[in-house]
Amino acid sequence: MQPAWEVLLSPLCVTSPPIFERAAGAALDTFRLSIADFDVLNTLHRIGSPDGSKPTDLARAALITTGAMTARLDRLERAGLIRRRADPADRRGSLVRLTAKGGKVADRALRALIDVNESYLEPLSAGQRDALASTLRILLLRQERVLG
């Protein structure tokens, strides 16, 4: 199974963002998730901290404001996918972790996004897929160096 970050930087996402957004949105609709909601669930799943993660760290990882993260967390908590609790190390803060249901939804949603990518790449041979991945990797690594 490909790592979650590769799903979000998949050939479909890189070569045709509007098509990716439609296809990913349709796949995630099954789970009543937006791409933004999936991003939070997937980040929590990837981190896998049993104690939870700070909302400010999640906001930083998603490149959004803490206010926007609070709105996402509220939505996910109402759906029973995450749980927030007081941070014992910081009385003003909280920690967020996936519920059992949230972990299952994160796994299934990731599989659905991988299936979207596989469907997109289906017409290509294994060699063509490898060539495409190598080419995109070169472009993305160069952009990382250029943009810092």
| Mean pLDDT, the chain cut into blocks of 10 residues (148 residues total) | 45 68 90 93 90 92 91 96 93 93 96 88 87 83 78
pLDDT at 98: 96
pLDDT at 3: 43
Q: Calculate the CA 25 to chain-centre distance.
A: 12
pLDDT at 1: 42
C-alpha distances in Å from residue 32, one per residue of 65, 81, 118 = 23, 11, 22
- Which position has the token pair 């789970």? 31
pLDDT at 112: 94
pLDDT at 4: 41
The neighbour count for residue 29, using CB atoms within 10 Å, is 11
pLDDT at 131: 86
CB 7 within 8 A of CB 110: yes
pLDDT at 121: 83
Please give the share of the chain, as a percent, with pLDDT higher than 70.
Answer: 89
